[in-house]
Chains A and B, each alone.
Chain A
Amino acid sequence: MSADADVIYRYDGSFAGLLCCVFASYEQKEIPAAIYSPQDMQLSLLFTREIYTEEDKSQRVLRSIPKKIHQDALDFIRRIFLTCLPQKEWYILLFLRRAYKEGPSILQNVADPLVNKLYKAVRHLENEAHLLKGFIRFSDCENVLATKIGPKNQVLPLLADHFCDRYPEEQFLIYDEVHRQALLYQPYQIKLVEMDVMDFPVFDESEEKYRELWQAFYDAVEIKARHNPKCRMSLMPKRYWKYMTEFDRMPASQNPLAGNRSDAAVGEIISIEAVSPAVK
């Protein structure tokens, strides 16, 4: 199936908004050439249809998916929505149109080019989330465990349960500086919030001490006779390194985690103190 209408949909970037695009596609009996969110700045010569997010329309689509296809299909498109697949909205629409027609068996058809493409995107998301469960490095900033990440996919919703189970009595904060979202936790409450800028205080002495201990351990554990940088790089891609304590050997005052000045100039600085009440 491909686009059959010379029209582009523009929506607000929310999941409910995307469901309204699906509604519009059926209402207008057309498949748009593309679906753009506010992040997609493309200019187009094609006619653009503005899709407004309306609660009753999105709810109708939302309810119909488990009823007419399967709950798994709804879980699947929610995950696709978190991936970094270009034009994921358009592919979700194509998938749903076929799924309404073919029924739940489409979920098993993993060799189909469209379904396969979507599965791979979801697997990429899930793999990245799994890697980050290990690669995230918290710093103790005044009793809040805080970290920054720069993932390709929106992994925070997939990380929430894991870190809540792990640190039930801690306060923690994971800031995704690519998607500008933060996961905030304090005992028994979790929140995912949009956040433009994140600033960290300078680490104290005891935090510095444990960073150095970890770096020393990291160096000691390598068997030098087996040095294999290629293997390391393929298992732990370099784009994660800049967020990891073991590769961050600068003094604390110059630490990239300790606040990015250019960012600070752009927007409001949210410090740890400011964040903590937000969780409460």
Chain B
Amino acid sequence: MDVMEKLKILGDAAKYDAACTSSGASKKAGRGGIGSSIAAGICHSFAGDGRCISLLKVLLTNACIYDCKYCVNRRSSDSVRTAFSPRELADLTMQFYRRNYIEGLFLSSGVFKNPDYTCERMIETLQILRQEYHFAGYIHAKAIPGADSALLEKLGLLADRMSINIEMPTNESLQLLAPDKSKQSILEPMGFIKGRIAENSHDIIKYKKPPAFVPAGQSTQMIVGATKESDRQILNLTAGLYKKYELKRVFFSAYIPAVEHSLLPARDIEPPLWREHRLYQADWLLRFYGFDAKEILDEAQPNFHPYVDPKCYWALRHMDNFPVEVNRVPYEELLRVPGIGVKSAQQIVRARRSCSLDFEALARLGVVLKRAQYFLVCRGRKRSGLELTRPALLRALMSKREVSKYELDQALGENQQLSLFRSAPRLTAAQEEELRCLPMPM
């Protein structure tokens, strides 16, 4: 099989991995080498689905000894199997990199023969890149669960970032859908990598330049919507992973039915993109907005709101915290105002040192007043002409897409009501209820 065919098959097989960032490391090649990376990461293109393409994301092979039910590469699937040779893949990476198509390589693999053998082939590829071609670009390597820790160690010294996908949010789901994997086999290497990173930062104090072990940290991914966990369970797990394993990033991937199986959702379901989006939003609240998972969702509210994003939803349930005075309130509280993001909060703090801000100034600083106006006062005053009614507030807090989704659901509900042969419009009633239950600012 030629490289073109292999690339099509092994690129296609790797695409369900959500992580494609090239962030977290900052370095450059010296003379004689090639490559650099910047901490913020660089997107080189965007695919037709709107996802960033930063790395050449491929599998070393799509052959696999495991039979995970949700996976397109599972043993029992009758797809065409192939593999790159380490040299082939290293050369392809270099040629793509020279042309600035990519920021580096994202190397994952099916498990062929056994975990150790797979890991060794990955190491061989990365050694050609790093040692022979002096490649200093970004490398993200997937740790192969079950591989020897000495091999993980080798891999970690060659890669910028490593990841082990946790796949399912609970051990029960994992056992149901990935009987060859266990929570243990996933968390063990994760713990090993965490320990080595910590050791490495200790070495930096001891020695001038120890070899860096995964300088951009580790990440993981969870599939959302293949099993029954609530949003709250997933979010709590996420917060726990950040805390316990010091992960740089947890990715969520809406379950795309690629496989028919009695234990999985039917093949014709829509991927739960909305849920994935809400989790993504909540993840940002955890990482950059100082929110605790328990604040975002709790026992009474175990799932995200379909029409209002997690931050607005939180604000609506805590109207007693508002309004805040923009010219005095601390940065941390500014971040909690709907319509103010990290950038605009920083700008506000910077600008208010030299003058007191009014609503016009806030608009110039990038604050989304449509939302923020309900939660702010400037120099002790509310925005003039502000309509403080429930529909006005809700409309303001919903994005255009959320409004149209709401209207669509409404229309669908009404059609159902007209049809005598359909079951009662339960969905819409529940949604109406959701909106009615939203607390009001007054």
A222 at interface, CB cutoff 8 A = yes
| Interchain nearest-CB distance for B359 vs A (Å) | 11
Q: What are the residues of chain A within 8 A of B354 when measuring CB–CB? A: 105-106, 108-109
- Contacts A147-B100, A169-B34, A225-B271 given; 13 further ones with Cβ under 8 A? A130-B42, A134-B42, A162-B38, A168-B30, A168-B33, A216-B4, A221-B47, A221-B53, A226-B50, A226-B51, A230-B50, A232-B46, A232-B47
The verdict on A108 contacting B350 (CB below 8 Å), with A214-B101, A229-B48, A245-B101 known, is: yes
Q: How far is the CA of A168 from the CA of B134 in the complex (A)?
A: 12
Interface pick from A37-45, A87-95, A136-144: A136-144
Q: Tell me if B33 and A113 are in contact (CB < 8 A).
A: no
Whether B36 pairs with A218 at a CB distance below 8 angstroms is: no
Cβ contact within 8 Å between A111 and B361: yes
Closest chain-B Cβ to A98's Cβ sits at a distance in Å of 13
Closest to A211 in B: B99
Interface size grouping (class) on chain A:
35 or more
> Considering only CB atoms, which chain A residue lies closest to B40 in the complex?
A130
> Smallest distance from the beta carbon of A127 to chain B beta carbons, Å?
12
> Would you list the 5 A-B pairs with minimal beta carbon distance, nearest first?
A231-B50, A111-B361, A111-B351, A220-B11, A226-B49
Chain A residues, Cβ within 8 Å of B92: 213
Residue of A nearest to B276 (CB): A226
Q: Is there contact, CB below 8 Å, between A170 and B98?
A: yes
Within the assembled complex, what's the spacing in Å between the Cα atoms of A110 and B100? 35
Proximity string of chain B (109-125) to chain A, C-beta cutoff 8 Å, 1 when within and 0 when not? 00000000000000000
* SS class, residues of chain A in contact with chain B: helix
Find out whether the CB atom of B48 lies under 8 angstroms from the CB atom of A217: no
A47 interface contact, C-beta 8 A: no
B56 touches A217 (CB 8 A): yes
Which residue of chain B has its CB nearest to the CB of A170? B98
The listed residue (B40, B54, B96, B256) touching A223 by CB distance below 8 A is B256
Instruction: List 15 contacting pairs A-B, 8 Å CB cutoff, sorted by A.
Output: A108-B353, A111-B347, A113-B364, A134-B43, A134-B45, A134-B100, A140-B99, A216-B7, A217-B56, A218-B45, A220-B7, A221-B53, A231-B49, A232-B48, A235-B52
Closest approach, in angstroms, between the C-beta of A204 and any C-beta of chain B?
13
Find out whether the CB atom of B49 lies under 8 angstroms from the CB atom of A110.
no
**Closest CB-CB distance, B98 to chain A, in whole Å?**
6
The distance from the CB of A45 to the nearest CB of chain B, in whole angstroms, is: 34
Within 8 A of B (CB), among A49-104: none
What 0/1 readout, one digit per residue, does chain B (340-358) give for beta carbons within 8 Å of chain A?
Answer: 0000000100111111010
Query: CB of A116 within 8 A of chain B?
Result: yes
Q: Are B96 and A214 in contact (CB under 8 A)?
A: yes
Q: Is A26 close to B, CB under 8 A?
A: no
Q: Which of B49-91 contact A (CB under 8 A)?
A: 49-54, 56-57
Indicate if the CB atoms of B365 and A111 lie closer than 8 Å.
yes
Minimum CB distance partner of A113 in chain B: B364
Decide yes or no whether A135 CB sits under 8 A from chain B. Answer: yes
Whether A109 and B351, one on each chain, are in contact in the complex, defined by CB atoms closer than 8 angstroms, is yes
The answer on a CB contact under 8 Å between B7 and A138 is no
Whether a CB of chain B sits under 8 angstroms from the CB of A248 is no
A226 CA to B51 CA in the complex, in Å?
Answer: 9
With the chains together, A165 CA to B38 CA distance in Å?
A: 11
Cβ of B342 to closest chain A Cβ, rounded Å = 15
Q: A111-B365, A140-B99, A221-B15 are in contact. Are A166 and B28 (CB under 8 A)?
A: yes
Q: Does A190 contact B (CB under 8 A)?
A: no
B35 within 8 A of A: yes
Find out whether the CB atom of B100 lies under 8 angstroms from the CB atom of A138: yes
Q: Number of contact residues on B: which range applies?
A: 35 or more
Q: Does A145 contact B (CB under 8 A)?
A: yes
A205 to B28, CA, bound (A): 31
For the complex, give the distance between the alpha carbons of A53 and B254 in Å. Answer: 61
| A109-B354, A138-B100, A168-B34 known; A227-B45 Cβ under 8 A | no
Q: Is A244 an interface residue (CB 8 A)?
A: yes
Which A residues lie within 8 Å of B52 (CB)? 235
Closest Cβ of chain B to A112, distance in Å, is 7
Contact with B along A157-168 (1 / 0, CB 8 A): 000001001111
Q: Is B32 an interface residue (CB 8 A)?
A: yes
Chain A residue with Cβ nearest B11: A220
Q: How far is the CA of A246 from the CA of B53 in the complex (A)?
A: 12
Contact A116 B30 (CB under 8 A): no
Q: Which of B7, B31, B38, B49 has the most CB of A within 10 A?
A: B49
Does A262 lie at the interface of the complex (its beta carbon under 8 Å from any beta carbon of B)?
A: no
Q: Which residues of A contact B101 (CB under 8 A)?
A: 137, 214, 245
The reply to whether the CB of A236 lies closer than 8 angstroms to some CB of chain B is yes
With contact pairs A134-B42, A167-B98 given, residues A222 and B351 touching in the complex (Cβ less than 8 Å): no
Question: Considering only CB atoms, which chain A residue lies closest to B358 in the complex?
Answer: A111
B3 at the interface (CB under 8 A from A): yes
Beta-carbon contact of B99 and A137 below 8 Å: yes
Q: What is the bound-complex CA distance between A139 and B98, given in angstroms?
A: 9
Task: Flag if A111 contacts B36 (CB, 8 Å).
Answer: no
Q: Do A235 and B34 have beta carbons less than 8 Å apart?
A: no
With CB as the reference atom, state the residue of chain A lying closest to B97: A166
C-alpha spacing A229/B48, complex, angstroms: 6
**Is B333 located at the chain interface by the 8 A CB criterion?**
no
B44 near A228: Cβ-Cβ < 8 Å: no
Task: Verify A116–B364 contact, CB threshold 8 A.
Answer: yes
Structural contact, B34 and A214, CB atoms closer than 8 A: no
Smallest Cβ distance from B69 to chain A, in angstroms?
18
Interface pair B11/A235, CB less than 8 Å apart = no
Are B4 and A244 in contact (CB-based, < 8 A)? Answer: no
If A134-B42, A222-B48 touch, does A165 touch B12 (CB 8 Å cutoff)?
A: no
Residues of A within 8 A of B28 (CB): 165-166
Alpha-carbon distance A93/B265, docked complex (angstroms): 64
Which residue of chain A is the closest to B361 with respect to CB atoms?
A111
